[in-house]
Structure 1
């Protein structure tokens, strides 16, 4: 089996292995932090270091009035122990926004910007040429003819019978 064909299989196996890993679930609401342990079997024992005390409800550990300082937490059952380093920033006056609200704000901002662009375009459309520094336009009734351009004596055309003017311009031999 060639190496190029094994890359997709390796990627699929890695994704399957990563999705099977269990993680802590951390929910923050105001100054209350709720942590859910990935262990689900038996009675779960929570331990906290760093002065953080909270209440445990088997798989959940709730810290009320969290002050944004780091905490080390662990949950364990009879056979396994998991550790969590919690460094969550919380505030009492924060407002939570859902995805629909954020999408609405962005869409409204884009529409307002588009409206301003259209207004600027239509108001500036009528003023073209008013602020220009070009001379006043000529009246259309009279057509002025331009005189022919002044010939440059350095580029005078060769006329029949007058080749002696250019006789001195023959290539030189080196």
Structure 2
């Protein structure tokens, strides 16, 4: 049970969004948002050399190269620097999954699984309870067995005592 709770906490923590600054994926690009100041300078670091980008907005749209948005982006706004390290696969029809949605999907899956287990248990109980309450045998114990010519009883007076007497 503790592993399950730990797994839910990890999933919830993994999908929580950053409130002050953040990254939003839309289509084949990532939109980086800096602090609340109106202007910001954006830099992209490649091979340990910062390259100044032309945009001076609070947001920067990083385009994908080969379906992957990657790199170290830095936002300088006043005296604060915010670093964004990205390495994400993006696609045109991708959608983000919020923490509430992920928790809801996991919880509904657990409820559905518990429902199936309960139905199987109830059906199994009905089948086992019927086997214990069978109808009594209709034939009385003293009634003679029906005759069967293939399996007639041996008459001790006519039985031969030879070893291979029955194989002729």
Interval containing the TM-score (normalised by the shorter chain)? 0.3 to 0.5
Rg larger in structure: 1
TM-score, scaled to structure 1? 0.45
Q: Which has the higher strand share?
A: 2
- Of structures 1 and 2, the one scoring higher in RCO (CA 8 A, sep 6+) is 2
TM-score, scaled to structure 2? 0.46
